[in-house]
Amino acid sequence: EDQVTQSPEALRLQEGESSSLNCSYTVSGLRGLFWYRQDPGKGPEFLFTLYSAGEEKEKERLKATLTKKESFLHITAPKPEDSATYLCAVRQSGSARQLTFGSGTQLTVLP
């Protein structure tokens, strides 16, 4: 059974204090690892897709990386508007695009 574990559950940072969120996964035949951002009361917003170990994607202050067992979402010099819950999800080969989500990391960036 696919497992996706995110850590930490919650993270509080000062504005400008860089850090990383972790997503470890157990899946046979990974067909994509996805990062989403979710603001309170809203649907998840797509950020990145990673397909193979060694791949990296960047968007503004966010950088996602992938190894064979985990992914990291690096946040460089965060701002208060980066506060949100960050979700990762995996898709297994043959799963017809179903995604298995982790429980998320709630990030709070203090001014």
Partner 1 sequence: SAVISQKPSRDICQRGTSLTIQCQVDSQVTMMFWYRQQPGQSLTLIATANQGSEATYESGFVIDKFPISRPNLTFSTLTVSNMSPEDSSIYLCSVGEGSYEQYFGPGTRLTVT
Q: Could you list the residues that contact partner 1 (CB under 8 A)? A: 31-32, 34, 36, 41-46, 49, 87, 89, 91, 96-104
39 within 8 A of 93, measured Cβ to Cβ: no
Taking the complex as a whole, the smallest distance from the CB of residue 20 to partner 1 amounts, in Å, to 20
74 within 8 A of 81, measured Cβ to Cβ: no
Taking the complex as a whole, the smallest distance from the CB of residue 53 to partner 1 amounts, in Å, to 17
Nearer to partner 1, 15 or 45 (CB): 45
Nearer to partner 1, 31 or 79 (CB): 31
Q: Using CA atoms, how far apart are residues 86 and 36, in angstroms rounded to an integer? A: 6
Taking the complex as a whole, the smallest distance from the CB of residue 48 to partner 1 amounts, in Å, to 9
